[in-house]
Amino acid sequence: MSLNKLKMSTSLFVKLMVITSLMSFSNSLQAQDSLSLEDALKVALKQNFDILLTEKAVEVNQIQNTWGQAGRFPTVTLSAQQGNNISDQSNNPTSFIQALLMTNSLQGGANVNWTLFNGFRVRANKEKLEQLELQSEGNATLVIENTIQGIILNYYQAKLQQEKILLLNNVIELSKQKWEYQKLRQDLGVALTVDLLQYESAFYQDSTNLIMQHLAYDNAIRNLNLIMGVDESKQWDLTDEIEVDAVGYDFEALKEKMLSSNQNIKNEFINIEILARDITLAKATMYPVVGFNAGAQFQANSFKIGDFPRAQGVTVNYYANFTLNFTLYDGGKVKRGIQALEVQNEVNEIQLDKLKSTLSSELKTHYDLYEARLKMFDLTKKSFRVAQKNFDIAKLKESSGLINSFAFRDIEMAYLTTGLSMIETGFNLIESQTNLAKLTGGLLDE
């Protein structure tokens, strides 16, 4: 194959790839279901797998959180037993009664066990069950916050990739027009070969970028679907635009809100409360245990010896007992256990202080980053407006022959670069706002 044929084949292939890509993207947008950020959040809150799992954990702890589970109520048991025995002693000369012996019995009973006092263990158990339920709810809230954050960032990440596709479409369409125009001029003998090659090269480069951008968009949609809990191949028409609300924040107000509303801090407080109940339960073993046991036993027996009439008898016993148990000495086991729990409580307090310090530092980092990104977003908007004006002027100058293809390409790339930068800085600003909202416990409020 000659070099010219190879060029023609490559050119045709790239054209077909770009046209197919643009048509599929346009057709897919028409066939897709519309999806706003609010809709994405609603779907995720219903179908996200992590949320569903934590909801089940909360349900389990809600079921367990009862006074019966804590041990307040008595235990009632019923029992029954029926027995039959046949002993043939008719051919036993050593037996006192040489006859067929038959015995039938029926036994039954009811028993009540009730712990009247065990060192306030019942109350401590109930309080711990309540804290465990709060702990599961706190973990569920944290998962919901993470899911909301993931939905927001992945939704706008997909929208970011979509906006880049639209911007690249504008550039590649212009590159295609310039290339075709230069080919027409060359056929007329008024165009330079170097200009034709420059526009052809630009078209290939922009086409490659567009293909890669479609791949980035597909990956972003796939990640969004994964968090939403829907089919990963589902395609959407994202209706919300990347709109930045430039809000001014006061760091001290953010820090105060974080210390009072951050879910990680709340969960750590719950962990400390649970350990406090464990200490109470450990101390309860140092108190005496008073128990009450009552019940009744029923027994009916019948006997038959040989040909004599059957004899029957019934016995009923009632009982009611009180018990007192007190551990006088266990080698210091309980005392050491309590001391270990108290040390662990101190460890938890230190961990809480460390968590507050870590989150404060993280908040400061995100706050400074937000302030920097806010300035960068304002600058990139201004830069894009300038690049856009310069690009519009360059198109007129290039058509008039006042600038060559190389200068025009430089201006075109500056327009593309600043446009992409403006979109990315807008997304980055949204990302910073979302991170600040999560750190301060504001995602659920919003």
Query: How many whole angstroms separate alpha carbon 235 and alpha carbon 242?
Result: 19
Residue 411 has a pLDDT of 81
pLDDT under 70: residue ranges of the chain: 1-31, 95-96, 98, 174, 177-196, 199, 306-308, 405-406, 446
Residue 164 has a pLDDT of 87
For residue range 329-360, list pLDDT tens digits in order.
888 888 999 999 999 999 999 999 999 999 99
Residue 216 has a pLDDT of 92
Residue 92 has a pLDDT of 72
Residue 23 has a pLDDT of 46
Q: Which helix (H) or strand (E) holds 258?
A: helix 251-261
Specify the pTM: 0.77
Domain boundaries, the chain: 32-65+120-288+331-439, 75-117+291-325
Top-level CATH class of 32-65+120-288+331-439? mainly alpha
Residue 2 has a pLDDT of 36
Closest CA to 408 of 417, 421, 399: 399
Q: How many CB atoms sit inside 10 A of residue 382's CB?
A: 12
Q: Tell me, what DSSP letter sits at residue 309?
A: P
Residue 405 has a pLDDT of 65
For residue range 400-427, list pLDDT tens digits in order.
777 776 677 778 778 888 888 888 898 9
Residue 199, burial from CB neighbour count under 10 angstroms (0-12, 13-18, 19+): buried
